[in-house]
Amino acid sequence: MSHRGRAAAGTLAGMELAWDDVRVVMALLHTRSLAGAARRLGLDRSTVSRRVGALERALDQTLFLRTREGLRPAAALERLRPQLERIDADMRALVELARRGDDPLADTVRIATTEALAGFLVERGLLEACTQHPGLAIELLGGNRPLDLARGEADLALRLRGAREASLRSRSIARIEVALFAAPAYLQRRGLPRGDDDLAGHDVLVPGGELAALPEARWLASRAGVRVVLRTSSMPALLAAAHAGLGLAPLSRPWAELDPGLQLVAPLPKIPARPLWLVLQPEAARRPAVRMIADRIARIFGQPSPPRRPARG
């Protein structure tokens, strides 16, 4: 454990609380699993379990309830959560201030987005900012569950919905179209649909789970004569299935058109393009590095994607 981690971050229930303890609890709150918290912190699962167990014994409180769905914060933790969040935010700010020194761009910027858009940002050169500014680090938090910017879980986010919280700043930076894509091997084997109304007899790969409410998921699964061979909430799994030639997949065009292993089959004019919102946490928006990265993301989505014409049969 580093000296910084051993330094007392604050007091809680009459005891000195180390920032390492707070980081473990916050990671468990965000991931709801020992394995997820371990990955987030770069620790092993047994270390995370041992630390939270020791903290529960020291506080004489149950902090997490073990359920089939994962860890759920107990009432005691919900009561302590605002103070823990303040301690975590203060210590992060202190560390970043010390790390930054005289360079205002020496900072860590945490970006919450989907797995697909995280990959798109990397492909379109977002990380070049770290080469240009050696003190800058970017943390991409990709997943389907929206992180809570108001609670400081990330500095900025890319969302398909604008901010509902009055305290957050948001602006629309692009409109995302969805189209059907497939691997060339699938199209050679099964033939090319003449359009989005010519899908009977085709296998399709459909977003599922928390993504099942997407318009393209409902629309594609309801087409007459299609066979749904996969439903998944994992976009990497959907992409892998498309690469393997297992079916047609509805994917966002900016992301899929960068993939040389996929062909554009047909646009989906019945699925309205969705606005993409850049949302900033108000305190984070005052940091130069966060503003710089936000502007760079807006420019990335303002650049035209390479033109891709639908595959020809």
Please write the tens of the pLDDT for every residue from 91-108: 777 776 666 566 778 888
Tell me what pLDDT residue 66 has.
Answer: 86
| Domains annotated on the chain, with CATH | 3-85 (1.10.10.10), 108-175+274-302 (3.40.190.10), 178-267 (3.40.190.10)
Distance of CA 25 to the CA centre of its chain: 20
Write out pLDDT tens, residues 230-248: 999 888 899 999 999 999 9
103-112, 218-227, 290-299: lowest mean pLDDT where? 103-112
141-145, 250-254, 257-261: lowest mean pLDDT where? 141-145
Using a pLDDT cut of 90, give the percent of the chain over it.
34
Q: How far apart are the first and last CA of the chain?
A: 61
Q: pLDDT confidence of 37, banded at 50, 70, 90? A: confident
Query: How does DSSP assign the chain, residue by residue?
Result: --HHHHSEEEEETTEEEEHHHHHHHHHHHHH-SHHHHHHHHT--HHHHHHHHHHHHHHHTS--EEEETTEEEE-HHHHHHHHHHHHHHHHHHHHHHHHHHTT-TT-SEEEEEE-HHHHHHHHHTTTTHHHHHSTT-EEEEEE-SSPP-GGGTS-SEEEESS---STTSEEEEEEEE-EEEEE-HHHHHHH---SSTT--TT-EEEEE-GGGTTSHHHHHHHTSTT-EEEEEES-HHHHHHHHHTT--BEEEEHHHHTT-TT-EEEEE-TTSPPEEEEEEE-TTGGGSHHHHHHHHHHHHHHHSPPPP-PPP--
Residue type, 54: A
d(CA 263, CA 179): 10
Is residue 179 predicted with pLDDT exceeding 80?
A: yes
Q: pLDDT confidence of 3, banded at 50, 70, 90? A: very low
Tell me what pLDDT residue 250 has.
Answer: 95
Tell me what pLDDT residue 163 has.
Answer: 66
Is residue 5 predicted with pLDDT exceeding 70?
A: no
Would you say 289 and 109 are in contact if contact means Cβ atoms under 8 Å apart? yes
Is residue 142 predicted with pLDDT exceeding 90?
A: no
Tell me what pLDDT residue 311 has.
Answer: 61
d(CA 111, CA 258): 21
Q: How far is CA 163 from CA 109, 157, 166, in A?
A: 19, 10, 7
Tell me what pLDDT residue 211 has.
Answer: 87
d(CA 117, CA 109): 16
Tell me what pLDDT residue 221 has.
Answer: 92
Mean of pLDDT values over 60-85: 86
Average pLDDT score, the chain: 84
Tell me what pLDDT residue 99 has.
Answer: 62
Tell me what pLDDT residue 263 has.
Answer: 95
Would you say 127 and 301 are in contact if contact means Cβ atoms under 8 Å apart? no
Residue type, 220: L
Mean of pLDDT values over 16-39: 82
Mean of pLDDT values over 58-78: 87
Cβ contacts of 224-227, under 8 Å, gap ≥ 24: 224/200, 225/199, 225/200, 225/201, 226/199, 226/200, 226/201, 226/202, 227/202, 227/203
Tell me what pLDDT residue 26 has.
Answer: 85
Tell me what pLDDT residue 161 has.
Answer: 74
Which one is predicted more confidently, 119 or 307?
119
Q: How far is CA 31 from CA 11, 37, 114, 199, in A?
A: 24, 6, 15, 39
